[in-house]
Structure 1
Amino acid sequence: MGANVIRGIDRRRFLATGAAAVIGAGVATRATALAPADVPPGGALRSKAPLPRPYQVPLPIPPAPRPLQTAGGTDTFQIVQREAKLEILPGLRTTCWTYNGTFPGPTIISRSGRRTVVRHRNELSQPTVVHLHGGHTPQDSDGYPIDLTMPVNSRLSVEDAMAGMDDMGETHGNIAYGERTYTYPMQQRASTMWYHDHRMGYTGSAVWHGMAGFHLLTDDEDEALALPRGERDIPLMIVDRAFEADGSLMYPGDPNMHSPGVSRNHTAGVQGDVILVNGAPWPVHRVQRGRYRLRLLNGSNVRYFKLALDPPPPGGKGLVQIGSDGGLLERPLRHDTLRLAPGERFDIVVDFSRYRPGTKVRVLNRFGSRTTADVMRFDVSPSTRAVHDDARVPDRLALRAESVLDPAKAVATRTFEFRHSGRAGWTINGEAYRPGRSLTRAKLGTTEIWRFKSVFFHSIHVHLDPFRVVSRNGKAPGPFDHGWKDTIAMGPGETVDVAVRFTDYTGHFMLHCHNLEHEDMAMMADFSTY
């Protein structure tokens, strides 16, 4: 392990000094009245491998396997977690940690009201945890960060797996050996979800190395709409990475994963200089002159994106948002740009019939520069023949009554401050994460106001149930705050109030920053439901 990797109490002692300067830079940025979603400070890693020119690699579509078994109202899938050598950069092989040998992993498709069971077998060299991000899931299948699945035939002890963790006390997780079965009841609305590793102290490294995939949920309401389907319904996982000269992934932490943490230059979060979409660098995808549903996911560790079409369609507003983290909006929203924080999802429809035949439409990142300013390109068919397209975006999307929570009926208001706290490091309410210690308790079925306050750039994620944004900085919700959310972007000095109601499942669940390096450096908290 390199001498500059921060671990254990040493990393928090460093954060009391080194990170304070980074936070100060963030607050200074805020004082200049820049937008709240400006890019967090800290430079990107610089790849040593030769990089391809943009728009040379075809867009991959993650595989969507059929269930192994379908019986008794349950669909069962099998996933093997294993290393795989993938050609991400042309001509080079990159060793990734994968689900079923691909990055992203296989897209699991479920139906609301029908139970999904996913059996995970760990053939990696490290323990893993799987979290279904956006899932309404009981505690024992939620991916609690110390509910480890140990590797098959591994001699690694649980004590070694927990080495370097602070403040563990007497807490021990629900340990499985070799395999674990996750059960998802799917008693929730249709939405675009994703699954990823969630191991305490190592989420950033595991996700960076490839442990992420889509999980799509359908229902009658979504299918009754004339939205684009089939080949015109495309999940897009957007991430940034950096590569060594031999094509291996560059990450500024302990390569053997014996100690959590990152190098001193990256405590604000790790960013790369290569943009990957579905695992391909700056890909290109050919489209017909019709409507396409794009399920956008920011799967990056820390990088924010501000996406825009170049050129925009005549008249602008080419990004028609139909859904957010938790499913369909009540009504579509039309944007020229979309801001995505880590962990956020936006379902949008782009109508390529608004473009002339043969137009090459770039997707740009307005928060990027140099190599991170380009994302991908859509090449519109050059054919002038009419294309059959019966897809539509109706003026009304979601009709369910539960799409609204009334803040006036809240039984409590709770404040959560996301900040740096001296020797404790990245904290929530001044506390570094300790498994089993609940920061608050919530009664099932009651509405509460949770107030998030930030002095830095944080992407806040709440497990178990989605929420509705009530206000941002004491005013109306922002342009990207609408609909059901489970992840919210925050900038320095911001306060966001959300209304939340937890249902169905009691136990310990998670509230944390989805800047994965902050999460690994203790910016997490338990909350319990009863």
Structure 2
Amino acid sequence: MLRRSPTRRDLFRLAVAAPIVLAGCGGRAVENSANTSAQGSAGRLLPSQAPLPQPFLRALPLPPVLKPVRSDAGTDYYEITQKRGTARILDDLDTEVWGYDGVFPGPTIVSRSGRRTVVQHTNELPVPVVVHLHGGRVAADQDGYPTDYLHPVSGRVADSHGQGLNGAQGSRDYVYEIDQPAATLWYHDHRMDFTGPQVYRGLAGFHLVTDEEEEALGLPSGERDVPLMIVDRSFAADGSFRYPSVDPSLLGTPGVTAEYMSGVLGDCVLVNGAPWPVLEVAPARYRFRILNASNARRFRLRLDSGLDDLDGGAQFVQIGSDQGLLAAPVPLDRLDVAQGERFDVVVDFSAHADGDLVTMVNERGEGTTAQVMRFVVTGTTEDVRDGSRLPDRLADPEVLSEADVVATREFTFRRGGAEAHGMSLWTVNGEAFDPERVLAQVRMGTVERWTVVSQNNEHPFHVHLGAFQVLGTTGAAAGRADGGWKDTVNLDNGGRAELLVRFDGHRGAAVLHCHNLEHEDMMMMANFEVV
């Protein structure tokens, strides 16, 4: 059974009794608004009130790589302080961020498979926080359960329901026994009811796992191994991040105003915190670790080189998925990237001449969101040494078999089945999240077949603690981009995914949920338990 604080059942009752889903003017409950989608994503566009910069004028920044404060025979120790910081994202206005070490994105952590990583987080923000290692196969009590709070240094803060005083205060260690293949993971806030606004303000960063097998492949490395955190944001007139919280202090009533219940879509695309940046590249191979860290926006990425023949210009070659390397490279003209998904790709710029421009465009976007960033090719192949290679065979990941399935389950993500103050909540199998309710018990090491159904809106599905393989989506076989081990899968409105799921190494309680963060905050989450 769940080993949780005894107050959490009360917490849930108070949550659905309070206006968790939206207060209107004067605190009145708001009638149900229509489920909305825009630009291929669940949600509504929130326009900026401040002038946005011109695209392709800023250099792409790279998140700092965090160094251990110390290491011993089996463990690397890191320290991160969550605090306010300032970023110059717009031309003439500063933007306050809530960042890991006060920066957005947060510093990149690089772990070695087979070694323990211990990250001490200190909370100097005015609200409780929770750190989730997204994609990490870690112990349940280190995973970042939504109510495992780290309270501010200044004192414990009761949540909006008058509960939630459990957890640590000031600082705590997250202990990660890194026993998984090389992969691109990320860490972000996962606080109950407030994940959306706290990630929106900047609480997200990369966590990379490396191993000897990956290093032996000769893939692009060093300055040609580039993480790309792609998000959308909107800005208030004073330059602050504009987000439609019912209570901007994030200490009172959770949720967003009624018209944004389906999701918050920004009008400014940021890559590594910079608006529509530029990266100078040599005519050589580059590895890009693409992460969609947006709250609600999905991207369909394509490289536009201005050439009629796509084969004559740069294109994506996928080498890795959420949980590590694929068996073999997969050429792709487009990448559909849902919130929380990662695509590890190689792009070869060697067919381009000095001065060529290659633009990463978003085919789901319109106006300001139709472009993401630009690459400028500098030099010639005669001037540049490219010692990297792209092997025909990358890894030998285990392939799960339907013959090993011991249980089948179905999870329906939709709006409805539970209400608060006349408002329909986002639910899993018709039930709003209850920290004391276990939707499924899974035997460790066994294979299960999960069917995930998406209704009312687009719902990217994410599972903690483990990983899955995609058999097919919406009646079709798994797509070319669905290979390998994943922890997040993209689902259209009305979509359906067939997954083979297995949890190895760690018992305990965790959550599965929609990675549209507005949906997650409004109860589209459920507990499961590995036994």
Same fold (TM over 0.5): yes
Partner residue, 1:405: 400
SS at structure 2 position matched to 1:405: coil
Query: What is the distance in 2 between the residues matched to 1:14 and 1:473?
Result: 36
TM-score, normalised to structure 2's length? 0.91
Partner residue, 2:230: 238
Residue 162 of structure 1: CA displacement? Answer: 4.3
* Structural mapping, 1:6-45, within 5 Å: 9-12=18-21, 21-22=34-35, 39-45=40-46
* Structural mapping, 1:232-311, within 5 Å: 232-253=224-245, 254-257=247-250, 258-311=252-305
- 1:441 and 2:438 matched: no
SS at structure 2 position matched to 1:353: coil
1:310-340 residue CA offsets vs partner (Å, 9 max, x unmatched): 1165446710000010000001111111110
Residue 460 of structure 1: CA displacement? Answer: 0.6
Partner residue, 2:422: none
Residue 479 of structure 1: CA displacement? Answer: 2.9
**Residue 68 of structure 1 contacts residue 76 of structure 1 at CA under 8 Å; is this kept in 2?**
yes
Do the aligned partners of residues 471 and 396 (structure 1) sit closer, same or farther apart at CA in structure 2, a change above 3 Å counting? same
Query: What is the distance in 1 between the residues matched to 2:448 and 2:475?
Result: 17
Query: What is the distance in 2 between the residues matched to 1:239 and 1:323?
Result: 20
SS at structure 2 position matched to 1:161: coil
**Residue 284 of structure 2 contacts residue 350 of structure 2 at CA under 8 Å; is this kept in 1?**
yes
**Residue 120 of structure 2 contacts residue 172 of structure 2 at CA under 8 Å; is this kept in 1?**
yes
SS at structure 2 position matched to 1:411: strand
**Residue 280 of structure 2 contacts residue 377 of structure 2 at CA under 8 Å; is this kept in 1?**
yes
| Greater mean alpha carbon deviation, residues 464-473 or residues 314-323 | 314-323
SS at structure 2 position matched to 1:163: coil
Runs of 4+ in 1 over 6 A off after TM superposition: 13-17
Query: What is the distance in 2 between the residues matched to 1:173 and 1:461?
Result: 27
1:242-289 residue CA offsets vs partner (Å, 9 max, x unmatched): 011211110000211111100111011111000000000000011111
Do the aligned partners of residues 150 and 192 (structure 1) sit closer, same or farther apart at CA in structure 2, a change above 3 Å counting? same
| Greater mean alpha carbon deviation, residues 40-49 or residues 273-282 | 40-49
Query: What is the distance in 2 between the residues matched to 1:445 and 1:142?
Result: 19
Do the aligned partners of residues 267 and 398 (structure 1) sit closer, same or farther apart at CA in structure 2, a change above 3 Å counting? same
Query: What letter is aligned with 1:430?
Result: G
Residue 372 of structure 1: CA displacement? Answer: 0.3
Do the aligned partners of residues 17 and 247 (structure 1) sit closer, same or farther apart at CA in structure 2, a change above 3 Å counting? closer
Query: What is the distance in 2 between the residues matched to 1:13 and 1:237?
Result: 30
Residue 7 of structure 1: CA displacement? Answer: 8.5
Partner residue, 1:374: 371
Partner residue, 1:392: 389
- 1:199 and 2:194 matched: no
Query: What letter is aligned with 2:449?
Result: I
Structure 1: gaps spanning 5 or more residues: 1-5, 30-37
**Residue 407 of structure 1 contacts residue 470 of structure 1 at CA under 8 Å; is this kept in 2?**
no
Query: What is the distance in 1 between the residues matched to 2:528 and 2:381?
Result: 57
Residue 382 of structure 1: CA displacement? Answer: 4.2
SS at structure 2 position matched to 1:354: coil
TM-score, normalised to structure 1's length? 0.91
Residue 85 of structure 1: CA displacement? Answer: 1.3
Query: What is the distance in 2 between the residues matched to 1:500 and 1:96?
Result: 37
Query: What is the distance in 2 between the residues matched to 1:359 and 1:217?
Result: 33
SS at structure 1 position matched to 2:336: strand
RMSD between aligned alpha carbons? Answer: 2.1
From 164, 181, 184, the equivalent of 2:176 is 184
Residue 14 of structure 1: CA displacement? Answer: 8.8
**Residue 40 of structure 1 contacts residue 268 of structure 1 at CA under 8 Å; is this kept in 2?**
no
Q: Give identity over the alignment, percent.
A: 50
Do the aligned partners of residues 13 and 373 (structure 1) sit closer, same or farther apart at CA in structure 2, a change above 3 Å counting? closer
- 1:420 and 2:415 matched: yes
Residue 12 of structure 1: CA displacement? Answer: 5.0
Partner residue, 1:353: 350
Partner residue, 2:7: none
Do the aligned partners of residues 13 and 303 (structure 1) sit closer, same or farther apart at CA in structure 2, a change above 3 Å counting? closer
Query: What is the distance in 1 between the residues matched to 2:288 and 2:354?
Result: 20
1:100-119 residue CA offsets vs partner (Å, 9 max, x unmatched): 12100000000001000000
Partner residue, 1:34: none
Partner residue, 2:9: none
Residue 91 of structure 1: CA displacement? Answer: 2.5
Partner residue, 1:500: 501
